[in-house]
Amino acid sequence: MIKQYMKEHGYPKLKKAKNSEIFQALMEMTNEMLQQKKMQQKKLQQEKNGEDQKKIYYISSEFLMGKLLGNNLINLGIYEQISKELMKEGISLAFIEEWEAEPSLGNGGLGRLAACFLDSGATLGLPLDGIGLNYHCGLFRQVFRNHKQKEKPDDWMKNNGFLKKNKKSYTVEFGGFHVRSICYELEVSGYHNRINTLHLFDLPEVERKIIRRGIRFNKKKIKKNLTLFLYPDDSDEEGRLLRVYQEYFMVSNAAQMILEEAKKKGCNYHDLDAYARIQINDTHPSMIIPELIRLLGKKGVGFEEAVEIVTKVCAYTNHTILAEALECWPMSYLEKVAPSLVPIIKKLDRKIKKKYSLPKVDIIDENQCVHMAHMDIHYSHSTNGVAKLHTEILKETELHEFYKLYPERFHNETNGITFRRWLLHANWALAKLLIDSIGEEFITRPEKLEDFMQYYEDNETLKDLSSIKMKNKKRLANYLRRTQGKRINPDAIFDVQVKRLHEYKRQQLNALFAIHMYLEIKRGRVLPTPVTLLFGAKAAPAYTIAKDIIHLILCLQELINKDPDVSPYFNVIMMENYNVTLAEKVIPACDISEQISLASKEASGTGNMKFMLNGGITLGTEDGANVEIHQLVGDDNIFIFGEDKDTVIERYQRGDYRSKDYYDKDPMLKEAVDFIVSEKMLKIGKKKNLNRLYRELLDKDWFMTFPDFQEYVAIKNKAYAAYENQREWLKMSLVNIAKAGYFSSDRTIQSYNEEIWRV
């Protein structure tokens, strides 16, 4: 197939072609196939009854898509064929895929979930398009210098041939000036099904050259900086205003496009809910509500009717209970950025104040701050959490007053992941074992994974699982050596914590364990199987403590890996620039999946699901989707520790937590914490950073690392001991794989459609 394509399109013969030429040919061929499929899809729709009348628009500030070539080849059904064709010439498709630049359009779970949802929507045949922004330099590319994180622009657009510019263009009116947008698109292929689209809005005036050292730039030049970076530094007012500009630009384009598409299909604006469903992914797109009301008003729809229409059309997904993540913008910001929305938001707020004499549910508070989540809940027909525990917490505490007002609007939609990327592409060897064992049906009917349980006692299957895990460990080791110069032992236990760096995710707890383990080995303890702690995480540029935690981990990496007494038994590795591409190598290689957030703080998590699907064993707290993983696999196939959500929530409510009390009572904890500022560490690291983190833990420890420390050390040792019985460990791994079907994003999207969108 690829050999013939290259011959017909003037490329060198396959055996003589450069990897870059093969990549270019594959990308062009794939794009042509996607377009052909899209035309066939359109023709089929016209033959039936015209275009899909009702369409779902998933609006999100993030879409962490990952590289697209391999995923498209899988969904088109030709990945294995292409791989075999290349292999005959001694060419690895995996190496060819490395030529593609990963779209840097997301940060963590929020963006990765959005990407999975687009894939699942297309796979299920739903008309579900994404709408976001085309960030030229993404979040940032992480590099390590002097044991610290440094940020550089991620110029992903230079080498991504799937991004296409289209003719969509809209005028967006800001306070005092206006802009004219342009739009880029990424085709989203479903598995043996339809093609949907991710629409990414941009400005033609945006200039890469205004970036100075690192990722600093002039935040005042809105026309030149608007889509430069995802989540620009908001530690000053200019940065916060820029975020509001970005959000309004996104939703204004989205609203205009949605109305335009609905009109072409016969919508008279009064019946918009028959043509559109809008999912507001977190609070960043919240201004879609007043913007749609404003635009409907310009089309002749009265205010009250417009409010009713928009409420029917919009639904809101809450992803957090962290107060700082529930956006609240000063009214003065909106007056500057989007003055046309201000009178509408005030009218929406007056309606609520008139109806409910309850300040907790006001949209505009006494300090003239606009609570975006409050507007979403009042003026959408659905609010959903993303895991059973998360939704319970929203109902019982964080959004309890809203739940009392609108109990019928609250739903739970537990997050999911797409098996095409996280199994078929990331771990083909395991996928092949499953196909050979239970057939292909699980790819589109994930509940069929349960059939794998019949091999629970099968020695050959367990042996295959062991072989696949070792193959994946060696693949990761080779990749890290080749791309980052890091050396890891594939015979070690891979104990992995990869996720966004945030105090509530508690990488600092894992680092304290690393210190404890280092000191234990120095005292003569010998581990029967070596352990490698693998970290991967980016810290927001302005998040000082998060960057201090990275500094601590990098200092420990230097100290431990160069100590001849310790390094044969225990290593710490901080992987640079953790992204989807690296995740596809890390997740299949994992033995122990660290999911150790403070109970009640993680909404769901999706990394926990990816590890589970690939046979990693969860070591975590009863938080987020860990609760559902625990219920599915049972007590014997997971390692649970830590205080429960009720204990944590009550302690926050009492406000009586003092980390120093735990430090004073626990010599093992005290030793580990004090080591942060020990002479050995200060020889490697910076006193300012290490001392600041030390004081933060000792004086504050807001996410309660100390109360869980003793139990965490114990459960880690229990997991390491369990690994020594390889047959039982592999059986645990098999159970996790077999029970992972529930966490398919296909199931999640099917549930969204049945309960919320009804398309």
List, in order, residues 6 or more apart from 436 with CB less than 8 Å away.
none
pLDDT tens digits along 396-445: 999 999 999 999 999 999 999 999 999 999 999 999 999 999 999 999 99
Active site (annotated) includes residue 67: no
Mean pLDDT of all residues in the chain?
Answer: 96
Active site (annotated) includes residue 164: no
Nearest partner of 358 among 290, 405, 409, 308, judged by Cα: 405
What is the mean pLDDT of the segment spanning 195-217?
Answer: 96
Half-sphere CA count of 59, side-chain side, radius 13 A = 29
Burial of 697 (0-12, 13-18, 19+ CB in 10 A): buried
Q: Which of 123, 227, 606, 748 is flagged as catalytic?
A: 606
Q: What single DSSP character describes residue 219?
A: T
- Computed on alpha carbons and rounded to an integer, the radius of gyration of the chain in Å comes to 26
Nearest partner of 120 among 557, 544, 745, judged by Cα: 745
Q: What single DSSP character describes residue 754?
A: I
Q: Which of 277, 378, 409, 505 is flagged as catalytic?
A: 505
Nearest-angstrom CA–CA distance, 156 and 449: 36
Nearest-angstrom CA–CA distance, 655 and 575: 36
List, in order, residues 6 or more apart from 42 with CB less than 8 Å away.
51
Nearest-angstrom CA–CA distance, 727 and 744: 27
Active site (annotated) includes residue 319: yes
What is the mean pLDDT of the segment spanning 108-126?
Answer: 95
What is the mean pLDDT of the segment spanning 698-702?
Answer: 97
Do strands 276-281 and 195-202 pair parallel, antiparallel, or not at all (unpaired)? unpaired
List, in order, residues 6 or more apart from 717 with CB less than 8 Å away.
none
Q: Please report, to the nearest 10 degrees, the dihedral formed by the alpha carbons of residues 512, 515, 520, 521 taken in order.
A: 140
- Residue 41 pLDDT class (50, 70, 90 cuts): confident
Nearest-angstrom CA–CA distance, 307 and 297: 10
pLDDT tens digits along 523-566: 999 999 999 999 999 999 999 999 999 999 999 999 999 999 99
Residue 283: pLDDT over 90: yes
| Torsion-angle region of 269 (φ positive above 0: left; ψ -120 to 50: alpha; else: beta) | left
State the angle between helix axes of 745-752 and 109-123 in degrees (0 to 180), rounded to the nearest 10: 80
Q: Which of 112, 199, 243, 319 is flagged as catalytic?
A: 319
Q: What single DSSP character describes residue 744?
A: B
What is the mean pLDDT of the segment spanning 235-263?
Answer: 97
Nearest-angstrom CA–CA distance, 342 and 336: 10
pLDDT tens digits along 46-73: 777 666 789 999 999 999 999 999 999 9
Give backbone dihedrals phi and psi of 523, rounded to 5 degrees, phi first: -85, 0
The residues that bridge with 328 in the sheet, in sequence order, are 371
State the CB neighbour count (10 A cutoff) for residue 352. Answer: 18
List, in order, residues 6 or more apart from 191 with CB less than 8 Å away.
74, 75, 119, 122, 123, 420, 443, 444
Q: Please report, to the nearest 10 degrees, the dihedral formed by the alpha carbons of residues 225, 231, 234, 235 taken in order.
A: -120
Q: Which of 500, 502, 547, 645 is flagged as catalytic?
A: 500
pLDDT value of position 108:
85
Query: Taken in order 473, 474, 475, 479, is the CA torsion positive or negative?
Result: positive
What is the mean pLDDT of the segment spanning 560-574?
Answer: 98
Active site (annotated) includes residue 610: yes
pLDDT tens digits along 502-512: 999 999 999 99
pLDDT value of position 49:
66
What is the mean pLDDT of the segment spanning 82-97?
Answer: 95
Could you give the percent of the chain with pLDDT greater than 90?
A: 96
Contact 414, 604 (CB under 8 A): yes
Nearest-angstrom CA–CA distance, 197 and 208: 26
pLDDT value of position 50:
63
Tokens of 224: 């030149």
The type of residue at 342 is V
Nearest-angstrom CA–CA distance, 534 and 536: 7
Contact 518, 681 (CB under 8 A): no
Tokens of 611: 């590890």
Could you give the percent of the chain with pLDDT greater than 70?
A: 100
| Torsion-angle region of 634 (φ positive above 0: left; ψ -120 to 50: alpha; else: beta) | left
What is the mean pLDDT of the segment spanning 273-279?
Answer: 98
Residue 584: pLDDT over 90: yes
DSSP H helical ranges for 222-284: 222-225, 237-264
Q: Which helix (H) or strand (E) holds 181?
A: none
Residue 252: pLDDT over 70: yes
Nearest partner of 515 among 699, 712, 703, 674, judged by Cα: 674
pLDDT tens digits along 160-169: 889 999 999 9
Q: Which of 199, 294, 473, 499 is flagged as catalytic?
A: 499
- The full 3-state SS of 685-722, as one line of letters, equals CCHHHHHHHHHHHHHCCCCCCHHHHHHHHHHHHHHHHH
Q: What single DSSP character describes residue 364?
A: B
State the CB neighbour count (10 A cutoff) for residue 571. Answer: 22
- Residue 591 pLDDT class (50, 70, 90 cuts): very high
Residue 14: pLDDT over 70: yes
Contacts 24+ apart (CB under 8 A), 463-467: 464/433, 465/430, 465/433, 465/615, 465/730, 465/733, 465/734, 466/726, 466/730
pLDDT value of position 159:
77
Active site (annotated) includes residue 336: no
Q: Which of 610, 716, 731, 747 is flagged as catalytic?
A: 610
pLDDT value of position 326:
86
What is the mean pLDDT of the segment spanning 129-144?
Answer: 97
pLDDT value of position 51:
65
pLDDT tens digits along 644-668: 999 999 999 999 999 999 999 999 9
